[in-house]
Amino acid sequence: MAFPAMMLLGAFLLLNSVSAWAEPSADEGLHVFKSANCVGCHKWSGEGGGGYGGAAANLRRTALSLDQIEHTIRCGRPATGMPHFDPDAYSDGRCYGLKKAQMSAATMPPEPDHYLRPADIDAVAKYVVSHIKGKGPPTFAQCQAFFGDGTRACDVYEKTSDSSGAQAGASAGSAHQHLKIESAPDANAGK
Ligand code: HEC
């Protein structure tokens, strides 16, 4: 009796993982953002900035579409520090119509620590759109979602959001924030 049930369960899990593969989850995108070291240049918040041999773009303020973001990740950006995560980016003209032979050390985007599979590029591009682009200044909650609870790395944001709340003249503002959190239990249920 246990056997057919196990097989059913197995088929169910297999189907589930196939659909997860087809549509990347935010977790996969987050994983790639960390493991491909986007975070090393763009920071956890996507704000980027200097300090890593160039100024990485602020992804929170990017005007690029999902397609353009994906393209930038695959191709990098010539003459800047943005690496190309597709190993064949400059082998056949697929990126900006350019090939390696036409490029100099100055225009060739750097190689990444490691290249990414198309599915990973898809996942991380979607993560940038759903979690970073257009999100405004980084918050304590977003920082915790990135690093996990109990990290000290986010303390600075807790203070920042407190003081910006005070600047906005709003103890009412933080009460409002509590209200919003309490009235949105679904946000956690969906995790
Ligand atoms: C070695 C540092 C470095 C790494 C690693 C890196 N980037 Fe970048 N990225 C940059 C720099 C520098 C720019 C700005 C290029 C410019 O000046 O136009 C940039 C630009 C971008 C842009 C274009 C934004 C815009 O609005 O023009 C996107 C999107 C992007 N990076 C996403 C990523 C993602 C996703 C990853 C990880 C898979 C990643 N980057 C890894 C340095 C890096």
**Mean pLDDT, rounded, for 135-143:** 94
Q: What percentage of the chain has pLDDT greater than the value 70?
A: 69
d(CA 44, CA 56): 12
CA of 82 to the centre of ligand 1 (A): 5
Q: Candidates 30, 41, 44: which one to mutate for ligand 1, based on the most atoms within 8 Å of Cβ?
A: 41
Q: What angle do CA 96, 101, 106 make, to 5 degrees?
A: 75
d(CA 45, CA 4): 47
d(CA 1, CA 88): 51
d(CA 191, CA 187): 7
What local confidence, expressed as pLDDT, does residue 25 receive? 83
What local confidence, expressed as pLDDT, does residue 175 receive? 37
- pLDDT tier at 11 (50, 70, 90 boundaries)? low
What local confidence, expressed as pLDDT, does residue 9 receive? 58
Please count the other Cβ atoms lying within 10 Å of the Cβ belonging to residue 72: 21
pLDDT for 30 beyond 70: yes
How high does pLDDT run on average in the chain? 80
Residue located nearest, by CA, to atom 40 of ligand 1: 38
Please count the other Cβ atoms lying within 10 Å of the Cβ belonging to residue 178: 9
pLDDT for 2 beyond 70: no
d(CA 160, CA 150): 18
Are the C-beta atoms of residues 74 and 60 closer than 8 Å to each other? no
Q: What angle do CA 20, 38, 126 make, to 5 degrees?
A: 35
Residue that wins the pLDDT comparison between 106 and 167: 106
CA of 102 to the centre of ligand 1 (A): 22
Express each pLDDT in 97-129 by its tens digit.
Answer: 999 999 999 999 999 999 999 999 999 999 999
Closest CA to 21 of 119, 146, 113: 119
Radius of gyration in angstroms for the set of CA atoms belonging to the chain, rounded to a whole number: 21
What local confidence, expressed as pLDDT, does residue 148 receive? 87
* Tokens (6 digits) for 23: 């549509």
Express each pLDDT in 37-69 by its tens digit.
Answer: 999 999 999 999 876 556 899 999 999 999 999
What local confidence, expressed as pLDDT, does residue 50 receive? 78
Q: Report how far Cα 21 is from the mean position of its chain's Cα atoms.
A: 17
Q: What do you get for the CA distance between the two ends of the chain, in Å?
A: 34
Residue that wins the pLDDT comparison between 157 and 95: 95
